[in-house]
Chains A and B, each alone.
Chain A
Amino acid sequence: MNVHATPSQTVGPFFSHALPWPGGPLVVGEDAPGAVWLRGTVTDGAAEPVPDALVETWQADAGGRLSGSGFRGFGRCPTAVDGTWAIRTVKPGTVGADEAPHIAVSVFARGLLNRVVTRIYFADEPERNAADPALVRVDPQRRATLVAEPAPDGYRFDIRLQGEGETVFFDV
């Protein structure tokens, strides 16, 4: 590093007319093969829903390819008044030989001076999850906070910013 990074500041409360767009949550089209909904709720340290967060996702396509090949890979969804968000996507393929399928997540909100970063893993990949080089660094008691559970139309992944069941956040 020879120049100094610009500090982060909060996204603030008033971004909903600026950052979200209708296609933002659709990483893939509604009818894309293998498309699933990835849904969750963002809650705070009082277990109350966070109605003004922005959830962004970044991932490989089903073949493990990151960007290129026409796959956007990026999803953006603001939380609703009840703290819920949803991204339409496909389960990613493998990007590294020993890695489990995963999706990188950024959460921005009023009250977060910097984004918090986490990863979504998948409950139907227990063996690969057990060997994943990032997941093995996580306290075993807290690993479940990074694992999306199957749901009727895809997967469920809740994000708890603080307190009981706090989601594991990564230093990237």
Chain B
Amino acid sequence: MSELYPDESAQPPLAWPAYRSTRLRAPSRPLTVMPHSRTELTGPVLGDGRVGELDHDLTRQHAGEPLGERIVVHGRLLDGDGRPVPHSLVEVWQANSAGRYPHDGDQHPAPHDPNFTGVGRCLTDADGHYRFVTVKPGAYPWRNHDNAWRPAHIHFSLFGRAFTQRLITQMYFPGDPLFYQDPIYNSVPEGARERMVSAFDLSETVPEWALAYRFDLVLGGAGAVFEDTSVFEEDE
């Protein structure tokens, strides 16, 4: 295990042959360790300008409502010390409830939903909390191996405060029977995979309207170190 996963950060290795697309794309040379400069310890502040009024509600972006199981997805964005990351852009995208993306390259013969684009954005609040309303995405087949299916997932993109904290990941749903055969999910070391799995959250369900899942995200990187310095304040 330690050879496959040389660092303790529980990140997936770049070279993971079971996921076929890594074979010609994963760098073959080891990464070069670099001293961070201010460039890595700061990051873009993408604020209100990137977020429209209905961007957080994926069920209200068209004339009608999308088909599928309506869900609330919410949680907190934290840094590696467990502190909330406020006012930070969260981008999400997902397949519709039938497992289809509105993308030319998606050839899965499942129906498109004219009332669902599957793209959302919001900013975390002062406590690092975010909340989306959407429909539960469907699983979808892909050609990685024989009869391969991706577990249902929502793609997340996070910035945090520093370039070092930039993260793109996927949120999964608890108890998905497809986990065992998915090389993307299983590229993460055992023991860390659960961090990508949301939890059913009765407290945030809306009676007679929507179920809810909680997904907290923790950013790695050294960016939080910068928060207490005058340099970061100057940049704010």
Residues of A within 8 A of B (CB): 1-19, 21, 44-46, 48, 50, 52, 56, 58-60, 66-68, 72-74, 95-96, 99, 102-104, 106, 108-116, 119, 133-134, 137-138, 142, 161-163, 166-172
Nearest CB to that of B39 among chain A residues?
Answer: A104
Cβ-based interface call for B219 (8 A): yes
Instruction: Check if A73 sits within 8 Å of B25, measured CB to CB.
Output: no
18 contacts between A and B (CB under 8 A): A5-B10, A6-B195, A6-B219, A7-B193, A7-B196, A11-B157, A16-B103, A19-B91, A58-B44, A66-B42, A67-B44, A104-B163, A108-B168, A113-B184, A134-B37, A161-B24, A162-B28, A172-B40
Task: Give the 7 A-B CB pairs with smallest separation, nearest first.
Answer: A111-B21, A18-B93, A74-B44, A5-B220, A111-B25, A171-B31, A113-B12
- With A67-B235, A72-B44, A137-B32 as contacts: A46 and B24 at CB distance below 8 Å: yes
Stretch at the interface among B62-70, B74-82, B127-135: B74-82
Are B21 and A58 neighbours in the complex by a CB distance under 8 Å? no
| The one of A1, A56, A172 that contacts B80, using a Cβ cutoff of 8 Å | A1
> Is B114's CB within 8 Å of the partner chain A?
no
The answer to whether A8 touches B167, judged by C-beta atoms less than 8 angstroms apart, is: yes
Chain A min CB distance to B19 (Å): 7
B27, A162: Cβ atoms closer than 8 Å: yes
Interface digits, B170-191 against A, CB 8 Å rule (1 contact, 0 not)? 1000000000000011011000
Contact of A170 with B31 at beta-carbon distance under 8 Å, contacts A6-B217, A6-B218, A7-B196 already known: yes
Q: Is the CB of B217 within 8 A of A162?
A: no
Q: Are A58 and B25 in contact (CB under 8 A)?
A: no
Measured in the bound complex, the distance between the Cα atoms of B107 and A14 in whole Å is 11
Alpha-carbon distance between A157 and B184 when the two chains are bound, in angstroms: 30
Complex contact B32–A170 (CB within 8 A):
yes
Alpha-carbon gap, A66 to B157, bound state (A): 21
- Chain B residue at minimal CB-CB distance from A42: B25
Known: A113-B19, A170-B33. A9 touches B12 (CB 8 A): yes
Q: How far is the CB of A50 from chain B (nearest CB, A)?
A: 7
What size tier do the contact residues of chain B reach?
Answer: 35 or more
* CB pair B103 A3 closer than 8 Å: no
Which of A21, A44, A119, A134 is the one whose CB lies under 8 Å from B25? A44
Whether A109 touches B25, Cβ cut-off 8 Å, given contacts A17-B103, A74-B46, A115-B168, is yes
Docked pose: A16 CA to B104 CA in angstroms = 10
From A59, A67, A113, contact of B45 by CB (8 A): A67
A17 to B101, CA, bound (A): 9
The contact string, 1 if C-beta is below 8 Å from chain A, for chain B 8-42, is 01111110100111111111110111111111101
CB of A170 to closest CB in B, whole Å: 5
What's the dominant secondary structure at chain B's contact region? Answer: loop
* Minimal beta-carbon separation of A161 from chain B (angstroms): 5
B119 proximal to A (CB < 8 A): yes
CA distance A99 to B16 in the complex (A): 35
| Least Cβ–Cβ distance between B143 and chain A, in angstroms | 11
**Number of inter-chain CB pairs below 8 Å:** 221
B32 close to A138 (CB less than 8 A)? yes
When A68-B234, A168-B32, A172-B34 are in contact, do A15 and B155 touch as well, CB less than 8 Å? Answer: yes
**Residue B3 lies at the interface, judged by CB distance under 8 Å to chain A:** no
Asked if A17 meets B93 with Cβ closer than 8 Å, knowing A6-B218, A66-B42, A170-B32, the reply is yes
Q: Could you say which residues of chain B place their CB within 8 Å of the CB of A58?
A: 39, 42-44, 163
The chain A residue sitting closest to B42, CB to CB, is: A66
Besides A7-B10, A14-B105, 18 more A-B contacts (Cβ < 8 Å) are: A3-B218, A4-B218, A7-B169, A9-B187, A9-B196, A10-B21, A17-B103, A18-B119, A58-B44, A67-B42, A67-B236, A74-B46, A104-B40, A113-B12, A169-B29, A170-B34, A171-B31, A172-B36
